[in-house]
Structure 1
Amino acid sequence: MPRDLRRFIALLESRGQLRRIPAEVDPDLEIAEIADRLLASGGPALLFERVKGSRLPLVINALGTVERICWAMGMEQPQELESLGKKLALLYQPRPPKTFSQAVELGQALFSVFKAKPSRDLLPPCQQVVLRGEEVDLGQLPLLRVYPGDAGRVLTLGLMVTKDPENGIPNVGVYRLQLQSRNTMTVQWLSVRGATRHLRKAAALGRKLEVAVAVGVDPLVIMAAATPVPVDLSEWLFAGLYAGEGLHLAQCKTVDLQVPAHAEMVLEGTITPGEVAPDGPAGDHIGYYGPRNEQAPLIRFHCLTHRRDPIYLTTFSGKPPKENDMMALALNRVYTPILRQQVPEIVDFFLPMEALGYKAAILSIDKAYPGQARRAALAFWSALPQFSYTKFVIVVDKDINVRDPRAVVWCLCSRVDPQRDVFILPDNPFDSLDFATEKRGLGGKMGIDATTKIPPETDSPWRDPLTPDPAVAELVNRRWAEYGLADLNLQPADPRLFGYEF
């Protein structure tokens, strides 16, 4: 059975993680309201069999938990994601091996690349039905309107494929598209994304930019598209590395682009540089409405191909938790070895979901010299393109669990003098969707050194932390059953017991 959305849906259903909804539901606000309640409670994926105004069934919340994301990537535990990250780190910035074991490890990684090479399908399922010209009617898709203040219906989980007009290297990204007419959509993207570079190059060459949008792909391919890859590597190759086998691609019918052969549908079109239309406002991942953009690039679609009886896969953004937040948590594990290779002193790092996936980062370091925390923060901001938009970086010692908010807050309050340990970088390129900045697209960054201070960082003697006596701790371990406490579960307590509300 090929790797595709249908196989993943079958897996979810077999594990009790999919609910079919036979009642007719409205894609205007109603579906999002239902899905949002399930997302907030870690509920199952939903397959709406009857969507008002469309003949297509709709799947949402497929990647609504980290567990389901692991399943999509052929894994069972989040810890396995870090093993994948180690392999990717070798390829992201390869270094000459210094030992035989390192040579073997690099060789295995390179062999994985060989196996991951994509192949071409001559009779791809995504082209079982072909619609051209006036036959293309995007209004027949079950596009969602998520929030009452949204300007229109949106497509949110399609993989947009473009190609560098100069070197031909493709870029795959996930962007929000807003319906404008029967065959046009506007696209909302950030200036650092690969597709925007391609549009700028196309404009300089006086060409249109060809675009393909694949909808309903294997979720593993979505995760590959969200991974920070070097600009000269293809996301298709990374998808093959994730899967352990090459991805099946199909040549589009009307544009010189390739797409996943087992996608449910593919939209083909072009962007004429300078042709724009108003886009938004729309609910955004920040948790507020994004502004109306009068200059959003306009895509004209002239071909739509799809499988027989296609399934529409979608999601939506907003205040966490949302599916994109679960993806960010999973990718956090993948990023870690890549980041360690870029910034060796980093032991671990975490991007809290409540920080919108990337607005705040917590780093732990093996501190060896004064000023190292600041160096680590500065290196983090430049390590990967995604981190250039991180507002806050908190650096703690290696003994602190970066995923424990109570431990991090304790460090902030016990190890930080704001006058000495907080530094601001003003006027940096910034996420244009973040309206908290005074100037759109330009804002500050804050670094916080929450590590133990060593001279000359401080002239005051640093106190010893409170720790139990090792001999007594071992004694209590031995006598635990004798105390009559063997039946007690000593997992971390529910934070609500200490006055925290969720």
Structure 2
Amino acid sequence: MARDLRGFLKLLETKGQLQKIDALVDPDLEIAEISNRMLQQGGPGLLFTNVKGTPHPVAINLMGTVERICWAMNLEHPLELEDLGRKLALLQQPKPPKKISQAVEFGKVLFDVLKAKPGRDFFPACQQVVIKDEAVDLNKLPLIRPYIGDAGKIITLGLVITKDCETGTPNVGVYRLQLQSHNTMTVHWLSVRGGARHLRKAAEQGKKLEVAIALGVDPLIIMAAATPIPVDLSEWLFAGLYGGSGVQLAKCKTVDLEVPADSEFVLEGTITPGEVLPDGPFGDHMGYYGGVEDSPLIRFQCVTHRKDPIYLTTFSGRPPKEEAMMAIALNRIYTPILRQQVSEIVDFFLPMEALSYKMAIISIDKAYPGQARRAALAFWSALPQFTYTKFVVVVDKDINIRDPRQVVWAISSKVDPSRDVFILPDTPFDTLDFASQKIGLGGRMGIDATTKIPPETNHEWGEPLESDPDVADMVTRRWAEYGLGDLDLKEVNPNLFGYDMK
């Protein structure tokens, strides 16, 4: 499969997971409405070939299931994501091998890093057509407006590429951009993100910040850019590790930045520090419209694209959405890294209904009193992306954390709120969370739903109810004899909740 958007579209078509729509559709509200209904049904990716006001096809919902995300990452099953996470964990905190097998494993990882280094394409497909200066007109792009209350048209799945003006280190992020005029857009990023840091550095030196927006890239690169794992590796190298081979990069025409050579579109521009315009409101992943914020203004002086380019997009909102599916996949990648950071954690899960980051459920192999509280505190500080996790529920290792029934049972049967619930007030928080009393400042709650041991409790814990093992085996053997149909030993249908990828 070719490592670009077109190759992934062909793969989805081969697997019966791409629906082409030739009917005329409007990028204003209609495309998002159609896509949202398909997301709710777990439907295929969509390719709109007849879009009002533009000659360019629009692809959406390509990563609307975890299965399709795995395909984008050259994997067949979600459990393989943990193998990738183990590789990244080894790179993050390498340890001297104690066995020959460990040395061999580490050697394989280093070889993977060598294969993952990006290459250079001197005749890139993304520059088959070049448009400069006064000819630049962003209105010709099929930008969507997902919700009726949105302030305007947006870019959602563009790779926003900037560079540190001191070190030259690039940053690749996925940020929302709002169309402001035929050649300007505002970019909405949090102050902790790489692009925002680069802008502050440029401002200190009195320089403009160069920006490139790569649109319609290999979905695997989008996954790499959306992975905020604290490893001293570039997003390009991450993408190479994800895909098994290096990303081919091309030098931009008017800015000193590199972009994926097979991008469908590339927008090149600059930000003058201090030049801002109101951005928003827009529907966000919280399920509400966000506020209006003054955001940096990008002035574009060049657009390049492939011949007959395809525009890739998505939109935010209350789950399920494509971003929620991406978060579920990243959950699996994080797991080995988190185990390395917090040794007592057996498994962890971010429920999609909790926006895939607002609530974490972690299981531990409990060995001493107070360990659940320690694990919750360690979780909040383990990785930057957990800073905004509002609730952490800690359960014993025998609880299936992907089964809501078991988790609710553990909370209900093992928690005394006066003892097992603790709150950290006034911590830095998500500015999109309207539940906080003060925007950007909120509390966090930890819930210890583990079995209590002295001195956490001064009485004996009850014995858990269990079937007699001999009788249980006998019943299993005789099940067909009872005439009760096929025996399903699963405690919960994994498709019921859409998470249990075991």
After TM superposition, the score normalised by the length of structure 2 is: 0.97
Aligned partner of 1:17 in structure 2 is 17
* Per-residue Cα deviation, 1:127-179 (whole angstroms, up to 9, x for no partner): 11111111111111111111111110100000111111221111111011000
Change (3 A) 1:340 1:231: closer
2:224 paired with 1:224: yes
Match for residue 252 of structure 1? 252
Q: Which residue of 2 aligns with 1:360?
A: 359
Single out whichever of 195-204 and 37-46 deviates more from structure 2.
195-204
Separation of aligned partners in 2, 1:201 and 1:402: 43
Task: State the distance in 1 between where 2:493 and 2:244 align.
Answer: 39
Within 5 A, what are the aligned runs for 1:91-240? 91-230=91-230, 232-240=232-240
Which of 97-106 and 245-254 deviates more? 97-106
* Residue 271, structure 1, aligned to residue 240, structure 2: no
- In 1, the alpha carbon distance for the partners of 2:228 and 2:50 equals 37
1:432 Cα deviation from its structure 2 partner: 1.1
Letter in 2 for 1:107: G
Aligned to 1:344: 343
| Residue identity matched to 2:36 | D
Give the structure 2 partner of residue 285 of structure 1. Answer: 285
Shift of residue 486, structure 1, vs aligned partner: 5.3
Mapped partners of 1:112, 1:427: distance in 2:
43
- 2:470 matched to 1:471? yes
Alignment of 1:65 onto 2:86: no
- Structure 1 residue 94, shift from structure 2 partner: 1.7
CA displacement, residues 384-417 of structure 1 (integer Å, 9 cap, x when unaligned): 1110010010000100111111110111100001
Structure-1 residue corresponding to 2:389: 390
Deviations 1:208-238 (A, max 9, x none): 1111110000001111111123363201001
CA distance in 2, matches of 1:178, 1:450: 44
Query: Relative to structure 1, is the Cα distance of residues 231 and 206 closer, same or farther in structure 2, using a 3 angstrom cutoff?
Result: farther
Distance 2:396 2:490 in 1: 23
- Taking a change above 3 Å as real, the CA distance of residues 89 and 231 of structure 1, as seen in their structure-2 partners, is closer
SS in 2 for 1:86: helix
The residue type paired with residue 262 of structure 2 is H
Q: Assess if the C-alpha contact under 8 Å between 1:190 and 1:431 holds in 2.
A: no
Q: Distance in 2 between matches of 1:154 and 1:93?
A: 39
- Name the Cα RMSD after superposition: 1.5
Please state whether the residue corresponding to 1:290 is helix, strand or coil.
coil
TM-score using structure 1 length: 0.97
The aligned counterpart of 2:40 is 40
Q: How many residues get paired?
A: 496
- The 8 Å contact of residues 346 and 362 in structure 2, kept in 1 or not, is answered as yes
Counterpart Cα distance in 1 of 2:288 and 2:457: 42
Name the SS for the 2:63 alignment partner: coil
The answer to whether the 8 A contact 1:115-1:245 is kept is yes
Q: Which amino acid aligns with 1:464?
A: E
Amino acid at match of 2:394: V
Determine the C-alpha separation between the residues in 2 that align with 1:242 and 1:199.
29
Q: Which amino acid aligns with 1:182?
A: H
Amino acid at match of 1:33: E
CA distances 1:51-104 after superposition (whole Å, capped 9, x unpaired):
111111000000000010011111111111111111111012222222222222
Q: CA deviation at 1:182?
A: 0.5
Whether the 8 Å contact between 1:220 and 1:243 is mirrored in structure 2 is yes
- Aligned-pair CA distance for 1:27: 0.7
| Structure 1: 5+ residue stretches without partners | 498-502
Cα distance in 2 for partners of 1:490, 1:99 equals 39
Which stretch shows the higher mean deviation, 99-108 or 367-376? 99-108
Query: Quick check: 462-471 or 360-369, which moved more?
Result: 462-471
Query: CA separation in 2, counterparts of 1:205 and 1:230?
Result: 27
- 1:377 partner letter: A
Q: Matches of 1:358 and 1:383 in 2, distance apart?
A: 14
Please tell me whether the aligned partners of residues 169 and 232 of structure 1 are also in contact (alpha carbons under 8 angstroms).
no
SS of the residue corresponding to residue 199 of structure 1 reads helix
Say if 1:208 and 1:270, in contact at 8 Å, map to a contact too: yes
SS in 2 for 1:180: strand
| In structure 2, distance between residues paired with 1:164 and 1:404 | 44
Distance 1:456 1:10 in 2: 61
- Letter matched to residue 329 of structure 1: I
Contact persistence 2:32–2:144 (CA under 8 A): yes
Corresponding residue number in structure 2 for 1:403: 402
Partner-residue secondary structure (3-state), 1:481: helix
- Report the residue type matching 1:255 in the other structure: V
Secondary structure in 2 aligned to 1:101?
Answer: helix
Which whole-Å CA distance do the structure 2 matches of 1:148 and 1:75 have between them? 37
